[in-house]
Amino acid sequence: MDDEVRIPDEGTPAPDAPAPDAPAPDAPPPDPGRAAAGEAPGPVPGIVKPLPAEWFVPRGTNAETRWDAFRDADGDPVIGRHVPVERFFVRNHTSTPLIDPDTWRLKLFGSGLRGAPTAERPVEFGLDDLRELPSTRISALIECAGNGRSFYRSQQGQPVPGTPWTLGGVGSASWRGVRLAEVLRAAGLTGAAVDVLPAGLDPDYVVGGTNYGPVRRPLPIAKALDDVLLAYEMNGEPLTPDHGAPARLVVPGWVGIASIKWVGGVEVADHPLYSPWNTDFYRMFGPDHPPGGGDPLTTQVVKSAFELAAGARLAAGREHRLHGRSWSGSAAVRRVEVSTDGGRTWRRAELRDEPQADGWTRWSVAWRPERPGPYELRARATDDRGDTQPERAVFNREGYLFGAVVAHPVTVV
């Protein structure tokens, strides 16, 4: 793909483009799944799978997993290390396409491949070809860069545009597929390759009258060759339409936008590539960032969440076990502290997992509130690199990477 270059001018604010995980696209998204089945559209028309209200909060074209959906009414866990596909959050710029796996082709082209194949005459792989390459299974979290965005406004008094995620724009799954490195080599990767640009087959992203084209974001070749998977299975089953069928990237540790779903074309170039997703979107703009914007976002920050609804009601005079999870894009989470008094005092949570860099660490603490009334729970994690959740997140105009400690209100009755 001959991608346009849209680098914001040095020294000027970023173009006034909305964060792409923000606004509803101009046209109502088509609804291939339900239209085909003749069913009424669900709470998010572009998403194919059912979105029961007890598991999801609809947010524009997206669906956020509710943290209280991690436990049943008795407080027993219903989600282990991996989130079942039915409960996994969905982040769509437009709508889920239905792609025939039998006719689908992955098309690689560009100056970073031997013979520089063109987009018109690419190197092609069908799903069966990919399945014949050595397969790999990994655990990895997918997390939206905007996860936690609503707390810029609610905790820091800093309104930002975009999808007001609480903390449910994240999920962990087991993914099986072929390493992107393997596919690139099979396609004739040369030592000159610099960037890889996977593009989705979902409808073009059109907003405010501007057509940004298909969702696509360059990956530096070093990351592409390191641990990126071209996945065709999620939790042991073929990918479902909403999560990228027939194949998607899984880019461990990085912001979710890197994990392009419904991959069709992949440009491999001997020069840097650009798309609006690494020039206008998914970078930090604002007073605490370089004048032309920060570098394209890569790794996720440390976060924690309680497996509890905001505003949950707990009985006074009884011991409760508070459960939660913490995670980081850079390293395993080995230390979690919890406060039940709005951050005045803290104690160590008991970890329920051997900390691993490829997933979240589950934890719990016992809590016996004696007096009825409102309380504020907080959890603060530290990863193996020593990164700890701060009291405040550094503001950025689009509200990305909210990593500060989140106040979780509960009522003791």
**Residue in 196, 215, 224, 404 binding ligand MTE, rule: CB under 6 A:** 215
Query: 61 or 339: whose CB is closer to ligand MTE?
Result: 61
**Which value, to the nearest 10 degrees, does the dihedral of the CA atoms of residues 211, 214, 215, 216 take?**
-120
- In the bound state with ligand MTE, the residue whose beta carbon lies nearer, of 195 and 242, is 242
Distances from the Cα of 158 to the Cαs of 142, 231, 279, 301, in angstroms? 26, 37, 23, 19
Q: Please, what is the minimum distance in Å from the beta carbon of residue 230 to ligand MTE?
A: 13
The SS3 of residue 287 is coil
Does 303 participate in binding ligand MTE (rule CB under 6 A)?
no
Comparison of 263 and 338: residue with beta carbon closer to ligand MTE: 263
Residue of 90, 207, 332, 336 that binds ligand MTE (CB under 6 A): 90
| Cross-strand pairs, 337 | 348, 380
CA 116 – CA 122 distance, rounded (Å): 9
Our finding on whether 225 is near ligand MTE (CB under 6 A) is no
**Residue 333 φ then ψ, to 5°:** -95, 120
- Measure the CA–CA gap between 67 and 326, rounded to whole angstroms: 12
For the bound state, the minimum distance from the C-beta of residue 138 to ligand MTE, rounded and expressed in Å, comes to 15
Distance CA 78, CA 54 (A): 13
Q: What CA–CA distance (Å, rounded) separates 200 from 6?
A: 19
How many Å apart are CA 400 and CA 141, to the nearest integer? 17
Q: Is 197 in the site for ligand MTE (CB under 6 A)?
A: no
Could you tell me whether strands 408-412 and 312-314 are parallel, antiparallel, or unpaired per DSSP bridges? Answer: parallel
**256 touches ligand MTE (CB under 6 A):** yes
Note whether 307 binds ligand MTE by CB under 6 A: no
Residues that bind ligand MTE (rule: CB under 6 A) add up to a total of 20
Contact region with ligand MTE (CB under 6 A), list: 1-9, 85-93, 286-294, 361-369:
85-93
Residues 132-151 that bind ligand MTE (CB under 6 A): 142, 144
202 lies in the binding site for ligand MTE (CB under 6 A):
yes
- Neighbouring CB atoms inside 10 A of 344's CB total 9
CB of 86 to ligand MTE, least distance (A): 12
Q: Considering only residues 172, 259, 364, 389, which one is a binding residue for ligand MTE as defined by CB under 6 A?
A: 259
Query: Does 95 help bind ligand MTE (rule: CB under 6 A)?
Result: no
> Which is nearest to 201 in space by CA: 264, 107, 257?
264
Least spacing, CB of residue 75 vs ligand MTE, in Å: 26
Quick one: 235 or 389, whose CB is closer to ligand MTE?
A: 235
* Binding status of residue 260 toward ligand MTE by CB under 6 A: yes
| Alpha helices (H) in 135-220, listed in sequence order | 150-156, 180-186
Residues 6+ apart with CB under 8 A from 133: 178, 182, 183, 186
**In terms of DSSP bridges, do strands 206-207 and 195-200 run parallel, antiparallel, or are they unpaired?**
unpaired
In the complex, minimum distance from the CB of residue 249 to ligand MTE, in angstroms, rounded to a whole number: 8
User: Could you give the residue ranges of the DSSP H alpha helices within 232-337?
Assistant: 276-279
Q: Which of the residues 21 through 60 are near ligand MTE (CB under 6 A)?
A: 21
Candidate segments 91-99, 176-184, 342-350, 376-384, binder of ligand MTE by CB under 6 A: 91-99
Residues near ligand MTE (CB under 6 A): 21, 88-93, 142, 144, 200, 202, 215, 243-244, 256-257, 259-262
